A and B are shown apart, each in its own frame.
Chain A
Amino acid sequence: MAEKIATESEVRAASEKLGRLRRSLSEVLFGREALIDQVLVGLVAGGHILLEGLPGLGKTELVKALARAIRLEAKRIQFTPDLLPGDITGNPMLQEADGRKQFVFQPGPIFGNLVLADEVNRASPKTQSALLEAMQEGSVTVMGEAHPLPRPFFVLATQNPIELEGTYPLPEAQLDRFLFKLEVKRSPLAVLERIVRERDLGAEPAVTPVLDSAELLALMEVSRRVYLPDVVASYIARLVDATHAGSSRSAADVKFGASPRAAIAMAAASRSLALLEGRINASFEDVQAAAKPVLRHRLILDYGARLEGGSTDQVVDSLLAEVPPREKPVPATLQEA
C-alpha cells in the first residue's frame, strides 16, 4: 500500500466521530442501528447506496437526518416515469446579459453533497442512466462542458421492490455502481410503539449536527488507509471468485457472478467497518459482514433459481459457509478448540 497506514490514534479519533454520528442518527431513527451502521460504512467508504424497501419505512428520513447531522447539502429527486435526464443533471438556460444572449448551465438537483434519489426504479431507463453515469464519473457533461459534482458526493437511492407495478428494474451494469444494496425491513413492534409515542405526523425531528463535510472527507481518507491484511485480501478474492458458476457449489445457480469492482467494494467496506469499530485493520469478520450488502445486487441468478424462489442472499450465505476465511484448512485430524 503506497499510502501510509492509519495509526491507532487516527483510527480511534475517527471511530469516536463516527460514534457520535451514529448516536445522533439513532436519536431520530428508532431501532435502525444496523441500517445506520451500514449507511455510515458506505458513506465512509465513498460509495453510493441503494435502499430497497416499501414506502414509509424511514428511508427518506434517514437521508434527511444524515444530511443534517453532517451539515451536507442534501438534494432530493423524486423519480417518476416522465422525469427527463435534464431534470436531474440540469439544463442550459438561454439568458441575456449585457445585450447578449447566451446559454448558461443551470445545475440540476444532482449537484448536492447528499442526493436522495427516491424511487429510482420508477424513472425511465434513460433517466436512470443519467443519474448512474453522474454517480460513476463524479461530473455532469452538458453541451460539451463538464461540470464537476461537489465533494463529497453521495447518492442514496431508494427503490420499491421490483414486484410492484410501474417500475423499471435497474440494469445489472448500473446496479454494480452502488456499493451497497440495503434492505429496509419493517420495524419490530416495540420500535413501532416508540415511533407512535414520540413522533408526530409531518413534524421534522431535530438532529444535532456532529460533523461537517471536511471532517467527513477526512474520515474517508483515514478509512482508505486502514490496513487490509493479505489473508483478508485473499479471502475477499476467493469469495468473489467463488460467486461464479463452476467455481463453487454455492454458485451453481448463479448466471453472472460478481465483478472485480465488487472485490474492491468489499475491501473498502471492510476497511470502513473496521474504522467504525475503531480497529486499524480489516478482518475476516468485516468481510463477512460486508458480503451481503456488497454482493446481493451484483449476483444474477439463473431463471430456474429465480423460479424456485432463490435469492442472492441465500447464495451469499452459502458462499460464506463454503469458502473458509483461511486458505489452508485445519487438518482433518484436528479441530479448532
Chain B
Amino acid sequence: MNDPMEEEKVWHRAASRVRLRLNLGLWLEKTLPLWTAASLLFSILALWDRERGGERLEVLAALFAGLIALSGLAQLLRFRASFFTPEDALDLLDARLGLRNRLRSAHSGVGDWPEPPAVLPKAVRFRRDRAFAPLALSVAVVALAVYLPVRVEKSPAPLPVAGPASWQEIERALDTLREESVVKEEAIVEMEERLRELRTKPREEWFDHGTLEASDSLKEELASEMRELTRALGDVAASLEELKDMDAGAPAEARRLRERRLGAALEVLDLSGLPFEREATRELQTLARNSKLRRATKEEIERWKQMRERLYHGLPGGAEEVVVGLRSRGGGEGRNGRGGVDRGPGTAPLDLSAEPLEMLSDRIEALEGEDSSSGPFGAAVGVSIGEHEVRTEGVRFGEDGGAVDSMGEGGDRVWTQSLLPRERRVLQRYFQ
C-alpha cells in the first residue's frame, strides 16, 4: 500500500475502532459500579417481593431496567467531556506499534503516514476482572433473585368488608322501631351507639370471638326487648279486644282480670328497655279507657295489632318461634296447678301467662308435653311477670333467715329466677 491517502484512511479507521473501545471502556468503568449497586438493590427487592407472592415483580423489573438505562445515559452525558479523542487513539496505536509518535506527527501534518501493517493489532482489550466480572456478577445476582426458589409467605387474610350478620339484623330491627315511631328515640340512639362502638373496632377484630359475642349479646338484648315489647303489645291488643267485646253482663271478676292484665301490659310497655313514646302511651291509655267503655273501634285495635305484627317480624334475626308457658300444666284463672271448670278463657294449658298469646294466624307454637315435675334440677320451667310474693307477716327476724315462701307441693318446682323486668335489665346491663 503506497497510496498516502489510503494509508491515512486505514490509520484513521483503526484509530476510530480503538477510540470506540476506549470510550466504551471508560463508560463501563463509570457505569458498572452503578449497575452493580442497582442489581443488588433489585435483587433484594425482588426476593422480598417474591416471598410475598411476587405481585410487584414486573413493576420492579421495569423500574430496574429503567434505572439501568438512566444510569447508563447519565454517566454517558456526565463523562462525555472526558471521552477519548481520535488523537488519543492514535497515541495509543503509536505506543502499541512502537511508532514513536509517528502517527500523531502525521496527524499534525508532519511527515508521512507510516505504512500500516497487514493486520492491525488491537491496541487495547477488555479486562475480564474489571469489565466482564462485574457484569457477570450483576446478571448472576439478578438471575438468582428472580429464579431462586423461595418460600412464599401466605398473604394475610383479607380484611372483612362487612361486619357480622348480627349487625345488619340489629340495624334492620332498629330501622323497624324507628319507622313505627312508638319507641323513644333515645333508646334507639343508645342501641345505635353501642352498635357503632362495635363497628369502630379494627376490621381485623370484627370477627374475633369477643366482638362476635358482644354483637350477639347486643342482638339478643334487642331481640329480648322487642319480644317483650311485642308480647306486651299483644297482651294490650288482646285485652282491648276482649274488653271491647265483653258485654255488660260479663262477670266483674273476669272484667277485673282483663283490666289488670291490660294495666300490667301497659306497665311493661312503659318500663321496657325500649320504652314507649309518651304520645303512644297516652294514645294507648285513651284507647284502654274507651275499650272499658266499649267505645274503642275495631280499626283502632287492629292498627295496634298490625303494629305488633310488624314489630314482631322486625325482630333481629326475623320472626321467631314464640314459646310460651312451655312446661307447665297450666291452670285456670292464671294460677298454677289450679284448673277448674270455670277456668274459661284463663290461662291456657302449658302457658304460665294469664292469657295465651295465640292471636296470630301464622304463629307456630311448639309445645312439649314434657312433665316438668320430672325435669332436671335447676331447669327453667317458665317465665312470668308479676310482683314478688313476699311474706310480710309472721316473720321472725333472726329465726326465719333463709326461709322460703313456699315449700311447694308434690312435683312442683321451686322458682329459681324470680326477677322483675327492670331488675333483669339492671342485671343484664351490669353483665354487659
Interface flag for B415 (CB, 8 Å)? no
Interface flag for B95 (CB, 8 Å)? yes
Question: For chain A residues 297-337, which have a beta carbon within 8 Å of chain B?
Answer: 325-326, 328, 330-337
Name the segment of B67-75, B96-104, B207-215 touching the other chain: B96-104
Q: A332-B130, A333-B25, A333-B28 are in contact. Are A283 and B101 (CB under 8 A)?
A: yes
A residues in contact with B22, CB < 8 Å = 330-331, 334
Query: What is the bound-complex CA distance between A337 and B126, given in angstroms?
Result: 9
Interface flag for B26 (CB, 8 Å)? yes
Interface flag for A246 (CB, 8 Å)? no
Q: Is A231 a contact partner of B28 (Cβ separation < 8 A)?
A: no
Query: What is the bound-complex CA distance between A332 and B24, given in angstroms?
Result: 11
Interface flag for A269 (CB, 8 Å)? no
| Residue among B94, B101, B121, B127 with the highest chain A CB neighbour number at 10 A | B101
* CB of B86 to closest CB in A, whole Å: 13
Q: Is B88 a contact partner of A333 (Cβ separation < 8 A)?
A: no
For B83, the closest partner residue in chain A by CB is A328
Q: Is B110 a contact partner of A5 (Cβ separation < 8 A)?
A: yes
Interface flag for A121 (CB, 8 Å)? no
B residues in contact with A105, CB < 8 Å = none
Q: Is B130 a contact partner of A333 (Cβ separation < 8 A)?
A: yes
Q: Is B122 a contact partner of A280 (Cβ separation < 8 A)?
A: no
Question: For chain B residues 87-113, which have a beta carbon within 8 Å of chain A?
Answer: 87-88, 91-92, 94-96, 100-102, 104-105, 108, 110-112
Q: A325-B95, A328-B88 are in contact. Are A333 and B105 (CB under 8 A)?
A: no
B residues in contact with A232, CB < 8 Å = 101
Interface flag for A24 (CB, 8 Å)? no
Give the contacting residue for A334; candidates B96, B104, B131; CB below 8 A.
B131
Q: Is B101 a contact partner of A284 (Cβ separation < 8 A)?
A: yes
Give the contacting residue for B25; candidates A227, A231, A282, A331; CB below 8 A.
A331
Q: A227-B110, A333-B131, A335-B127 are in contact. Are A281 and B105 (CB under 8 A)?
A: yes
Instruction: Count A-B contacts at CB 8 Å.
Output: 93
A residues in contact with B84, CB < 8 Å = 328
* CB of A147 to closest CB in B, whole Å: 40
Q: A229-B101, A280-B111, A283-B101 are in contact. Are A336 and B29 (CB under 8 A)?
A: no
A residues in contact with B110, CB < 8 Å = 5, 227, 229, 280-281
B residues in contact with A229, CB < 8 Å = 101, 104-105, 108, 110
Q: A328-B84, A330-B124, A333-B32 are in contact. Are A8 and B96 (CB under 8 A)?
A: no
Q: Is B29 a contact partner of A331 (Cβ separation < 8 A)?
A: yes
Query: What is the bound-complex CA distance between A230 and B127, given in angstroms?
Result: 30
Q: Is B100 a contact partner of A281 (Cβ separation < 8 A)?
A: yes
Question: Interface code A280-292, partner B: CB below 8 Å = 1, 0 otherwise?
Answer: 1111111000000
Question: For chain B residues 218-250, which have a beta carbon within 8 Å of chain A?
Answer: none
Interface flag for A177 (CB, 8 Å)? no
Interface flag for B21 (CB, 8 Å)? yes
Give the contacting residue for A330; candidates B92, B94, B105; CB below 8 A.
B92
For B135, the closest partner residue in chain A by CB is A333
B residues in contact with A279, CB < 8 Å = 100, 102
A residues in contact with B104, CB < 8 Å = 229, 231, 281
Query: What is the bound-complex CA distance between A285 and B101, given in angstroms?
Result: 9
Q: Is A334 a contact partner of B21 (Cβ separation < 8 A)?
A: yes
Q: Is A337 a contact partner of B25 (Cβ separation < 8 A)?
A: no
B residues in contact with A328, CB < 8 Å = 82, 84, 88
Question: For chain B residues 127-156, which have a beta carbon within 8 Å of chain A?
Answer: 127, 130-131
Q: Is A285 a contact partner of B105 (Cβ separation < 8 A)?
A: no
Q: Is B111 a contact partner of A332 (Cβ separation < 8 A)?
A: no
Give the contacting residue for B111; candidates A8, A283, A331, A335; CB below 8 A.
A8
Q: Is A337 a contact partner of B121 (Cβ separation < 8 A)?
A: yes
Interface flag for B123 (CB, 8 Å)? yes
Question: For chain A residues 257-303, which have a beta carbon within 8 Å of chain B?
Answer: 274, 279-286
Q: Is A337 a contact partner of B102 (Cβ separation < 8 A)?
A: no
A residues in contact with B112, CB < 8 Å = 8
Q: Is A332 a contact partner of B124 (Cβ separation < 8 A)?
A: no
A residues in contact with B102, CB < 8 Å = 279, 281, 283
Interface flag for B125 (CB, 8 Å)? yes
* CB of B320 to closest CB in A, whole Å: 84
B residues in contact with A227, CB < 8 Å = 105, 108, 110-111
Query: What is the bound-complex CA distance between A282 and B79, given in angstroms?
Result: 31
25 A-B pairs with C-beta separation under 8 A: A227-B105, A227-B108, A227-B111, A229-B110, A230-B108, A231-B104, A279-B102, A280-B105, A281-B104, A284-B100, A284-B101, A328-B82, A331-B22, A331-B28, A331-B29, A332-B130, A333-B29, A333-B127, A333-B130, A334-B21, A334-B22, A334-B124, A334-B131, A336-B95, A336-B96
B residues near A (Cβ < 8 Å) are 21-22, 25-26, 28-29, 32, 82, 84, 87-88, 91-92, 94-96, 100-102, 104-105, 108, 110-112, 121-127, 130-131
Query: Apart from A227-B108, A281-B111, A334-B126, what 10 extra A-B contacts exist at CB < 8 Å?
Result: A227-B105, A229-B105, A231-B101, A281-B104, A283-B102, A325-B95, A332-B29, A333-B126, A333-B130, A335-B125
